[in-house]
Structure 1
Amino acid sequence: MWKGKQRQSAGNDSTQIQTQTLVVVQGVTEERAAEIAEITARKVASEFTADARSAAQARIGSFDQQLVAEFATKGLLETFRDPGFQILLNKAQMQAAATENEADHELLTKLLAERASDQRKPIHLAVTRAAEVIDSIDETTLAGMTLLWYSLDTFSASTDPLQSLIGREGNYHDLLNAGPLPKGTAWLDDLDLLDLISVDHSQARTMKPLEDLTIDRRPGLFSRGLNEDEANEMRRRLDALSEGLASLVMPHSLAPGYFRINAASLGDHREIAERKGLSSGQTKLLEKIFEDCSCGTVDPDVKKKAIDFIEGLPNYSKIRTWFNGFNSQVAIRITAPGIAIAYSNARRFNSLAGLDKLSNLLTRRP
């Protein structure tokens, strides 16, 4: 790519002459990115004795090839210019040298790609810490943390209750390929030592069963529903607020003959109000409609139907049995580096379509 600069000069009664200077703007190519990686790799290799240097160089070379190819595919090669990224690359290469496991190299690659995709500090801090501990996590523990994160911190993009559960079933199928599931709770303590999760063993705080976590966090999908007369009244109230809002009323797939508001929770009214440009007063009226439609309350009968449906989902049922084997013994919070590792590892097996970007997941965490 080039940009042209023009200069004009002319004296009195003279002919004006126009000259043009070409300024070449060269982007980072795959070849240049590989050169930068090789330069930083030399520094890493120099840290090892002659006995270990050959193995370290081979492992780093394998990792660098994956990294450059991934960044080229995602259009991230310009990141190699960034001094901050080169510092992180140096640390990642050190970790790559410590393991010959290709899965570890792939995970490091995914982590660095997430870091390159967003320039905000929260993701920089999370990815930097995550890259430092990857070689300390075995395959079984990594699989457990990935499924733990997916179960605790993610929601289906679907606003239909059955489709939401079916979507999780498909994702669980893919994520079970991450490796065998860990048993007991010792693996949780290992992750706690690495500051990837925070574990509370006191009986004062424990986690709900998996099916309750899935359902109770999205009460609007599992609300009691509206009969036809109630649904028509809600359509009238919604249309009075803003044209087209009546379309929020939809059939309830877990309560045949009934309807519900197309929202996962009571708080969803704020996003809808903002999108529609509603005033403060109109927003309060919309919230009242959501309350009247029980968007914040799970109906026991609907919940039972949902659990019956879950029991027919083999992958979900497998994760449910595993999760419910330790949920009553501990309370768990996944830290930012833990989220970064679990998210990046999950992306190795599933695109996680509909899930927010890692940077947004990190900034919204409690």
Structure 2
Amino acid sequence: MSATTNKQIQKAGDNANQIQTQTFVQNIGISEERVYDIVSAACDRAIESCLMESRLAVEQRLNSFKDELYAIVGNQLQLFESLREPSCAATLGAAANAAARTNSADDHQMLAELLVKRFESPSDRHVATGVSKAIEIVEFLTDEELAGLTVFFAVNRYTPSSGVIGDGIKTLAGIYESLPLNLLPAGTDWIDDLDILDAIRYSSITSLTPFLDLQFDMLKGYTVCGVGVDSAEEAEVLEKLEEAGLPTDLLVDHELNPGYRRLSLRYIDRFDNLLYRHDCDASIPGIPLSNAQIEALRFICQLSQDDSCVAFIKENLKKEMFKLPVLVKVHDWWNSIPLVPRLTPAGECLASANARRLNSSLPE
């Protein structure tokens, strides 16, 4: 949560265990040389299965695949510990075979990203199923189909974490800017093709939720009604913050609902991972909130929810978003989708792998 002074509450990030990961790398049980031997052996088996006349082309493709895999893994060689699980080793072989069938460097990057996703969750059967199927169909996707799949996934899954509305909307725009918006498909052919490939399922009976309605629901911390300025509710909120030992400047003016105030929180239903900081020095560890502080925030968020301002806030959200052309483009494309797609496990794996291929800073 951001605030107007040097006090803030922040949501613990997904990468909060980076130090732990670094320690794991230092105690890795598989050497770099052994990793290269394992990957090379999988690629050699793919070469052995090809015709003599195509061997040179296959060797070049597999060299490209290996380069992409090593580049993505970087110094996280501990991921290859997952090869102790036989099914992960089989996935490596399947990826090598798929890499041999395509001369696209983008496909090789995708296959490498999918392998990393599999190695990160070696015992997750849902991931295993999705990655295995995704590897089978990578070579059959057109650039436009993959773009549509990725942006559809991104709209549904990526959301900002900043408690400041303007910053959050800019972050969302930045995510979309890193995606292939210039390749977005039109019509229904791309949906039909992805359905055939088992990347999506779709319904023609219902309508897709409009982009702004979807964002209004996803960005609940931004779109709550809030409490009126100088109202009895505001006084009650300030009292609750003081009683819980939280700074009162956590209550800020509502950017989308003038005359009201809200907590500078992106989420209004997630409190367990919040950390409290007394200053802006990120090197100082945050302090987990007490049960009393969590209950105070939960009470304030519930008090801030009122349907009376929905139309007004939604219109102001639209105005803020439409200041950024990239959000207008995504809005227009999303609202033009004639069917209601639903991503399968394979579609989710393909979309998330492509998003991370294009923007490595995106979370899993």
TM-score, normalised to structure 2, is: 0.79
Whether 1:235 aligns to 2:238 is: yes
Count matched residues.
323
Match of 1:42 in 2: 44
Alpha-carbon distance, 1:94 to partner: 0.9
Match of 2:143 in 1: 139
1:32 maps to which of 31, 34, 39? 34
Does the 8 A contact of 1:142 with 1:342 survive in 2? yes
* CA gap 1:99/1:75 in 2 versus in 1, 3 angstroms: same
| One-letter code aligned to 2:305 | S
Equivalent-residue separation in structure 1 for 2:316 and 2:36 (angstroms): 55
Match of 2:156 in 1: 152
TM-score, normalised to structure 1, is: 0.79
Alpha-carbon distance, 1:80 to partner: 6.9
Alpha-carbon distance, 1:269 to partner: 5.0
The 10-residue stretch of structure 1 (50-59 or 339-348) with the greater mean CA deviation from structure 2: 50-59
Match of 1:332 in 2: 341
Equivalent-residue separation in structure 2 for 1:129 and 1:294 (angstroms): 43
Match of 1:289 in 2: 300
Deviation track 1:125-159 (CA, whole Å, cap 9, x = no partner) reads 32222212111111111011110100122221222
| One-letter code aligned to 2:152 | L
Alpha-carbon distance, 1:220 to partner: 2.7
| 1:1-366 aligned within 5 A | 27-76=29-78, 78-79=80-81, 81-82=83-84, 83-121=86-124, 122-176=126-180, 180-202=183-205, 205-230=206-231, 231-240=234-243, 242-244=244-246, 246=248, 248-256=250-258, 258-268=260-270, 276-278=289-291, 287-294=298-305, 299-326=310-337, 329-353=338-362, 355=363, 357=364
Equivalent-residue separation in structure 2 for 1:193 and 1:180 (angstroms): 20
Equivalent-residue separation in structure 2 for 1:73 and 1:298 (angstroms): 51
Does the 8 A contact of 2:221 with 2:266 survive in 1? yes
Equivalent-residue separation in structure 2 for 1:72 and 1:113 (angstroms): 11
| One-letter code aligned to 1:211 | L
Does the 8 A contact of 1:33 with 1:77 survive in 2? no
* CA gap 1:183/1:265 in 2 versus in 1, 3 angstroms: same
Alpha-carbon distance, 1:61 to partner: 2.0
| One-letter code aligned to 2:269 | G
Equivalent-residue separation in structure 1 for 2:218 and 2:163 (angstroms): 13
Equivalent-residue separation in structure 2 for 1:57 and 1:296 (angstroms): 62
- SS of the residue aligned with 1:243? coil
Equivalent-residue separation in structure 2 for 1:285 and 1:346 (angstroms): 37
* CA gap 1:138/1:298 in 2 versus in 1, 3 angstroms: farther
Alpha-carbon distance, 1:31 to partner: 3.4
Does the 8 A contact of 1:44 with 1:90 survive in 2? yes
* CA gap 1:157/1:136 in 2 versus in 1, 3 angstroms: same
CA RMSD of superposed structures (Å): 2.8
Equivalent-residue separation in structure 2 for 1:269 and 1:149 (angstroms): 25
Does the 8 A contact of 1:248 with 1:261 survive in 2? yes
- SS of the residue aligned with 1:206? coil
Gaps of 5+ in 1: 1-24, 358-366
- SS of the residue aligned with 1:268? coil
Alpha-carbon distance, 1:185 to partner: 1.4
| One-letter code aligned to 2:163 | T
Among all aligned residue pairs of Structure 1 and Structure 2, give the percentage whose two residues are the same amino acid.
26
* CA gap 1:246/1:129 in 2 versus in 1, 3 angstroms: farther
Which structure has the higher relative contact order (CA within 8 Å, separation 6+)?
2
Equivalent-residue separation in structure 1 for 2:87 and 2:202 (angstroms): 32
Equivalent-residue separation in structure 1 for 2:163 and 2:118 (angstroms): 30
Q: State which structure, 1 or 2, has the greater radius of gyration over its C-alpha atoms.
A: 1
Alpha-carbon distance, 1:321 to partner: 1.3
- SS of the residue aligned with 2:117? helix
Deviation track 1:208-262 (CA, whole Å, cap 9, x = no partner) reads 221221122223311223233243320212333x222745422322234531023
Alpha-carbon distance, 1:89 to partner: 0.9
Does the 8 A contact of 2:173 with 2:326 survive in 1? yes
Equivalent-residue separation in structure 1 for 2:289 and 2:160 (angstroms): 24
Alpha-carbon distance, 1:77 to partner: 5.7
Does the 8 A contact of 1:219 with 1:295 survive in 2? no
Does the 8 A contact of 1:216 with 1:298 survive in 2? no
| One-letter code aligned to 2:355 | A
Alpha-carbon distance, 1:52 to partner: 2.5
